[in-house]
Amino acid sequence: MNASPENTPAAPASIDLDQPELYLNRELAALEFNFRVLAQASDPDMPLLERLRFLCITNTNLDEFFEVRVAALRHHFAFGDSIPGPDHMPAGEVLERIRERSLALTSQQYAVWQNELLPALAREGIRFINRRQWNDKQHRWLKGYFQNEILPVLSPLGLDPAHPFPRILNKSLNLAVTLDGHDAFGREGHMALVRAPRSLPRIIRLPEEVSGSRHDFVFLSGLLNHFADDMFPGFRVKGSYQFRVTRNSELMVDEDEVENLASALSEELAGRGYAKPVRLEIASNCPKGITDLLTANFGLGEHDVYRCDGPVNINRVIAIHDMIDRPDLKFSKFVPRLAPALTQHLSIFDGLKQQDILLHQPYDAFQTVIELLRQAANDPQVLAIKQTLYRVGIESPLIDLLVQAARNGKDVTVVVELRARFDEAANIELATRLQEVGVQVVYGVVGHKTHAKMLLIVRREDDGLRRYAHLSTGNYHTGTSKQYTDLALITVQPEIGEDMHNIFQQLSGLGQVSRLKRLLQSPFTLHEGVIKRIEREIEHVRAGRTGRIIARMNALNEPSVVKALYRASMAGVEIDLIVRGGCTLRPDLPGISEHIRVRSVVGRFLEHSRVYWFANGGDAELFCSSADWMERNLKHRVEVAFPILDPHLAARVYDEALLNYLRDNTQAWRLEADGRYSRITPGERPPHSAQKALLGQLD
């Protein structure tokens, strides 16, 4: 499951760090991550239902890749305004390479589904029964189910001049049906479309008394295909073929030209499901004539068609993960740690006066953050609460607590980022709810998404006002806190609290921030701060000291950071990068990056933590951050990097989030100079999984 090789440059006589051969393509690097995820679906050591989940993740990831990245590339290519990245690959060539790799990924997805997961599930008594396998009893029940539960909801559409090709919703399940015969008005039938309403379940479980098994399932698409005749009385159905269209999901709002961003986004959201198509998925047996008709109506070409050897909506099988009570086929449950203050039944505020709190989620409970806000909402000494919200979920208990705090007379200010992709509608709804109870809601900064994760509590105490701060690498979302690895700090360090106060003042009042004492903030000081610290390691090497950098993030593509890392490697600085997703830096280039190693770790939890560690000649600096080393994060968003000042907590982050992951030899992949990823194996060393090691600490 490796990337197709790209030309690996030889060490040039005169090193020009702008030469395109030194950079991997950003879009292709991001796409390759899905091959590493798909490898988990093929891993026999993974619990079976979790392997199924990994397969579905690759499918939803690919959907989003087309909805956002491919859509943007096609838009710029069509209008001739695409600007090549540092690799100088033209947009047309990038699109061709994306198709090549997407075809390979799609082929492997269905091969894993058909050849590995379906047989393995069947051996465990979990069957997806296709229509050729139905016995008479099953067929009778399914026919009754179709007629009673499905057919009344459907509105088949015969195509003719009075019934033109309809608008097809983004990623919805549809059938193209070819007909033979004459309609009720004597006209010859040709073709019809059937839209599967989203109110219908995509996976149907057969009753045990009908099937003889507790876990027999059929796809809705299979029922629609098999009973298509019932939808078109008087016709003979010659063929029915499922298809799904993927559309551009970027919201096109000029923030500088609108007076009310929330209102403008609400209007855009209404049309998102019918934006410009970018991909057509269709059954592998669909005839060319039907495919041509569909592509013509969607304004697509043959190069936009992806044929599926199975259900076009394969990601829907994720539903059975929760439908089946088989703990032996899932990851074992665990109980995350509570902060010492909670286990000792102390006020978190009292506990923080003794020591900062570090949370390494999901191993440490997000409940600590909820409890911090609950105590703040009900504490008469708390005067003000300020928080940023990027992704939180409309049913979040944090929203209830912010509402409660406002009703209790606290001054509550919330910075809601409306442009959080795919969470825009939820964020507009929660912003409205907060405003209704008197919370001051700020919609971030025009042109710069507020991606920083910050919570600041101002409390009156005997010696004056004190600020309690929570900063995190991840979102305030109770669901993802159980599935993503993230690091968070709760502290009363005065300089950190003062810096956060100044940033919140900037976000609400839009005034300039005086120089921050501890935090690094983009788009102002974070990018510069990272570059300076990389260059500082170069100076340490030149002075005869050891230079060392370890950094962990989701993606790396900012050109000036890559060049700084190249310069550091050329100077002799040893660099280890743990980059979960796309990385445009090429490691191991002779004379350029031979001191740089890049690895990606893929496991049970989505790796989401961002940590930057600089040896600094023995006086090490460690930052956690909301920002990846990407151009958008460092230059076009509001982000924060925060230091871990407590030496014991800094050592814990270094050990758990960095060294632990550099030791991983079971779920880690090494990026080669040619753009390929190779899986790291234990060899003669004892096997070590970073995530399992951290889970083991909970036993």
Token readout for 431 is: 């912003």
Give me the amino acid identity at 649. Answer: L
Other beta carbons within 10 angstroms of residue 355's beta carbon come to 15
Using CA atoms, how far residue 437 sits from 389, 394, 442, 559, in Å, is: 17, 16, 15, 45
Interatomic CA distance for residues 110 and 577, integer angstroms: 32
- 635: which strand partners? none
The CA angle 325-326-329, to the nearest 5 degrees, is 140
C-alpha closest to that of 674 among 93, 10, 30, 7? 7
A 10 A CB-CB count for 549 gives 24
To the query of whether residue 215 is one of the catalytic residues in this protein, the response is: no
Report residue 376 as tokens: 């703040």
**What count of other Cβ atoms lies within 10 Å of the Cβ of residue 503?**
24
DSSP string, 404-429: HHHHTT-EEEEEE-TTSTT-HHHHHH
C-alpha 633: how far from chain center = 15
Dist CA 470 CA 367 (whole Å): 13
Beta strands in 346-461 (DSSP E): 357-361, 382-389, 411-416, 440-442, 449-450, 453-461
Amino acid at 72: A
Residue given tokens 């298809």 in the structure block: 243
Instruction: State the alpha helices, DSSP H only, in 636-682.
Output: 647-653, 660-662
Specify whether the CB–CB gap between 66 and 279 falls below 8 A. yes
Task: Fill in the DSSP letter of residue 475.
Answer: -
Distance CA 355, CA 493 (A): 10
* Cα separation, 83 vs 43, whole angstroms: 39
User: Collapsing DSSP states into helix, strand and coil, what is residue 530?
Assistant: helix
Of 262, 224, 217, 41, the closest CA to residue 127 belongs to: 217
Rounded distance between C-alpha atoms, residue 220 and residue 231, angstroms: 14
89 close to 19: Cβ distance less than 8 angstroms: no
Q: How many CA atoms lie within 13 A of 411 on its CB side?
A: 5
Give 11: exposed, middle or buried? Use CB within 10 Å, 0-12, 13-18, 19+. Answer: exposed
Backbone φ and ψ for 315, nearest 5 degrees, come out as -65, -15
Q: What single string gives the DSSP state of each residue in 144-161?
A: HHIIIIIGGG---EE-BT
Whether 277 and 246 have beta carbons less than 8 Å apart is answered as yes
Length of the chain: 699
Quickly list H helices, 80-135: 91-111, 118-123
Give the active site residue among 360, 448, 451, 608.
Answer: 451
Q: Say which amino acid occupies 533.
A: R
From the list 61, 18, 90, the residue with the least C-alpha distance to 581 is: 61
Q: Amino acid identity, residue 493?
A: Q
Q: How far apart, in whole angstroms, are the C-alpha atoms of residue 91 and residue 26?
A: 12
In 181-276, where do the E strands start and end?
Answer: 191-195, 203-205, 216-219, 236-247
Enumerate the active-site residues: 451
